[in-house]
Amino acid sequence: MEQVRRLLQSRYGDRIPLAYVHTYGCQQNVSDGEKIKGMLALMGYGFCESPREANLILLNTCAIRENAEDRVLGTIGAMKHQRVNDPELVLGLCGCMVQQPHIEQKIRESYPYVDLLFGPHVIKNLPQMLYSVLTSHKRAFDTTETNEGIPEDLPIRRDQAFKAWLPIMSGCNNFCTYCIVPYVRGREKSRPSQKIIEEFTALVNEGYKEITLLGQNVNSYGKGLDEDIDFARLLRKLNAIPGDFRIRFMSSHPKDATFALIDAIADCEKVCKHFHLPVQSGSDRILALMNRHYTKADYMKLINYAKEKIPDISFTSDIIVGFPGETETDFEETLSLLKEVEFDSLFSFIYSKRVGTKAAEMEDPTTPEEKSERFSRLLALEKEIGAKRYENFVGKTYRILVDGPGKTGPSYYSGRNDGYMIVDYDGKEEDIGTFVTVKITKSLNWALLGERVEDQ
Ligand code: 5AD
Ligand code: SF4
């Protein structure tokens, strides 16, 4: 890093070179992006919001669905002109998309103006790679799979001052048949709990108000470590750290979620009463084809136990519509599950075929039009369920962490309550990053409106 810093100083003098780093996809990728920016800052880069002003452009890509990849290819295509006209500009790609061999090959062959490419296993090699590109003007590509886990001790430049992402593990061993993640992020690896507790404590001491623990499947946290720990026990340890903050976590795989985890959510006052539990489908036949290792009945057992233990718990989920071979009957089982659980919101996706996964080889006779039609029906039902649920919240009082300006009125500010619902109220700029107490006066389908009341 020091060598790059000196090199940049000799090249740019008093002018601070600017980096444009854009992250696509999930919070794990956002967290990687914060480490990449941490290293770039130490190397002497400033940051800009527009690629036009940049001396270094880095797109931190996502591979989860085809549209995420198409956007990246479109964006780098549009940058060709700028790169060709500015020999000093460095154009780089990193993240999950470029870890796929067919994409790396495509970039090598069809995008010769991309200088730098590295996968999620080797982000700590960025300084060496950048040094090599800046001095040799040769392309540097590295998609080595190390399976070393989360790199420790890298500098982090966090995007926000009051909400932080904290990865507790990396990779995934589940091989859901539709999913590319195990191929690009490698095998599951947990961080030692001591490292997590140290980072967490430092964040609390710096004044962070919400810390989200990240992993592809946080419920298998602890496997393979030399210590006797699991996710429920980690939550209890973090909850015991003194301070006024909230703990969130994502994502949970239902096959590994336990009653002990639900008990920990119930007992720990700092852990949000919100359970994001991706179900993907309500059909046992499709769940088996997806290699999910649970049935609708298993899923409902968890939901019902959580409802019994934590009556005001909020559930959200991920749903895939149009998995290969999904019939109308399978889809209706998903709709019936949604009615039974009454999720507060959903992240729903139309199935996207991923090269190299098992599902990509399966027969998929359903037309794209039928899939879109099912998707619209799912959204309509989600809206109906959400509207009905949200009406019950009128008159209740919530503590919300204020994120920024709201969308519902000129002086409105917006935050989220414990249950992850958006709450807008008439507020002030100083409220951003603090907890305020709001009494709900009105419900919209996607948010709640309220008035600030005295903190209780
Ligand atoms: N097509 C559509 N959605 C997908 N997801 C993962 N892979 C695919 C795919 N190939 C969704 C799942 C997962 C979320 C992060 O993305 O619902 O839980
Ligand atoms: Fe993909 Fe399944 Fe792993 Fe989640 S648990 S990252 S959906 S393979």
**Which one of the ligands is nearest to 176 CA?**
2
Q: Does 259 lie in the same domain as 227?
A: yes
Q: What is the pLDDT of residue 58?
A: 98
Q: Does 293 lie in the same domain as 262?
A: yes
In a domain, 83, yes or no: yes
| Domains: count for the chain | 3
Instruction: Tell me the pLDDT tens digit for each residue of 297-349.
Output: 999 999 999 999 999 999 999 999 999 999 999 999 999 999 999 999 999 99
Last residue of a domain, one of 342, 365, 391: 391
Pocket test for ligand 1, best of 65, 174, 216, 323 (most atoms within 8 A of CB): 65
**Residue keyed to tokens 């998903």:** 334
**Residue keyed to tokens 């959400």:** 386
CATH, residue 438 = 2.40.50.140
Q: Does 175 lie in the same domain as 59?
A: no
Q: Does 291 lie in the same domain as 172?
A: yes
Q: What is the pLDDT of residue 365?
A: 96
Q: Does 238 lie in the same domain as 101?
A: no
**268 marked as part of a ligand binding site:** no
What does the radius of gyration of the chain's CA atoms come to, in whole angstroms?
A: 23
Cα gap 412→126, rounded to integer Å:
41
DSSP 284-310: HHHHHHTT----HHHHHHHHHHHHHH-
Instruction: Tell me the pLDDT tens digit for each residue of 382-430.
Output: 999 998 999 999 999 999 999 999 988 888 999 999 999 999 999 999 9
In a domain, 156, yes or no: no
Instruction: Tell me the pLDDT tens digit for each residue of 87-113.
Output: 999 999 999 999 999 999 999 999 999
In a domain, 148, yes or no: no
Last residue of a domain, one of 347, 362, 391: 391
Sequence-separated (6 or more) residues with CB below 8 Å from residue 10: none
In a domain, 24, yes or no: yes
174 Cα–ligand 2 center, Å: 6
**Which one of the ligands is nearest to 326 CA?**
1
Q: Does 238 lie in the same domain as 315?
A: yes
**Which one of the ligands is nearest to 64 CA?**
1
Helix or strand or coil: residue 30? Answer: helix
Q: Does 6 lie in the same domain as 41?
A: yes
Token duo for residue 419: 């249950």
Cα gap 355→60, rounded to integer Å:
20
Last residue of a domain, one of 365, 391, 417: 391
CATH, residue 125 = 3.40.50.280
Q: Does 351 lie in the same domain as 326?
A: yes
**172 marked as part of a ligand binding site:** yes
Token duo for residue 47: 């940051």
**272 marked as part of a ligand binding site:** no
Q: Does 203 lie in the same domain as 90?
A: no
Question: Of ligand 2's atoms, which has the minimum distance to the CA of residue 251?
Answer: 4
Sequence-separated (6 or more) residues with CB below 8 Å from residue 303: 277, 315, 340, 341
**48 marked as part of a ligand binding site:** no
Q: Where are the alpha helices (DSSP H) in 49-192?
A: 66-85, 101-110, 126-136, 181-185
In a domain, 151, yes or no: no
In a domain, 154, yes or no: no
61 Cα–ligand 1 center, Å: 15
CB 35 within 8 A of CB 123: yes
Q: Does 243 lie in the same domain as 333?
A: yes
420 Cα–ligand 2 center, Å: 22
323: exposed, middle or buried (Cβ count in 10 Å: 0-12, 13-18, 19+):
buried
CB 51 within 8 A of CB 41: no
Q: Does 231 lie in the same domain as 126?
A: no
Q: For atom 4 of ligand 2, which residue has the closest CA?
A: 216
Cα gap 116→140, rounded to integer Å:
5
Q: For residue 377, what are the domain limits?
A: 163-391
Ligand 2, CB within 6 Å, residue ranges? 172, 174-176, 179, 181-182, 216-217, 253
Q: Does 175 lie in the same domain as 26?
A: no
DSSP state for residue 50 in the 8-state scheme: S
State which amino acid sits at residue 380: A
